[in-house]
Amino acid sequence: MRAEPKDLDDLVKRLGSEAGLSHDEALLYLRLLRDGQLPASEAGKAATLLDRGMAIVSGDGKRVIPVHPRLGIANHYRTWREAMVKEINERRMRVDKLILELIPVYEAATDKSMGKGGG
């Protein structure tokens, strides 16, 4: 027996707002959960779900199957969190470089205003 969600539109919206899936990805994920599989010919459509650990290819390579939502959403969140941490760290390095470029500008102006700059 196939369980139907009470409010499909709400689930799609929440998969977008809370899990960061696009509308199409959310619909595909729900379809995958409801049907239990997709033919391998649709693996391209499910590439994002596969990359995020929300689905896997069956051992025989003929189907895409969902990962249990508890694990699938957790995998997706972990992947998202790692990407965010990486972006934060990279931005911090860029900011540190910017600071190093700005320090001489500040020090030159400070030296000049204190009469040390020979001006």
How do residues 80-97 score in pLDDT, each as one tens digit? 899 999 999 999 999 999
Cα–Cα distance, 24 to 15 (Å, whole number): 10
**Where are the domains positioned within the chain?**
8-113
Instruction: Find, among 59, 42, 41, 40, the residue nearest to 27 by Cα.
Output: 42
**Residue 5 binned pLDDT confidence (cut-offs 50, 70, 90):** low
What is the number of H-type helices and E-type strands within the chain?
Answer: 4, 3
Q: Tens digit of pLDDT for each residue in 16-74? A: 998 889 999 999 999 999 999 999 888 888 998 999 899 999 999 999 999 999 999 99
2 has a pLDDT exceeding 80: no
**The pair of three-digit structure tokens given for residue 5, joined into one six-digit string:** 């969600």
The CATH architecture that domain 8-113 belongs to is Orthogonal Bundle (1.10)
Instruction: Name the pairing type of β-strands 55-57 and 63-66.
Output: antiparallel
Tell me, what's the pLDDT at 116? 67
Q: Which conformational region is residue 61 in: left (phi greater than 0), alpha (psi within -120 to 50 degrees), or beta?
A: left
Across-strand partners of 63?
A: 39
pTM of this structure: 0.67
For 30, how many CA atoms within 13 A lie in the half-sphere containing its CB? 22
Scan for tokens 């969902």, then name that residue: 66
DSSP state, residue 41: G
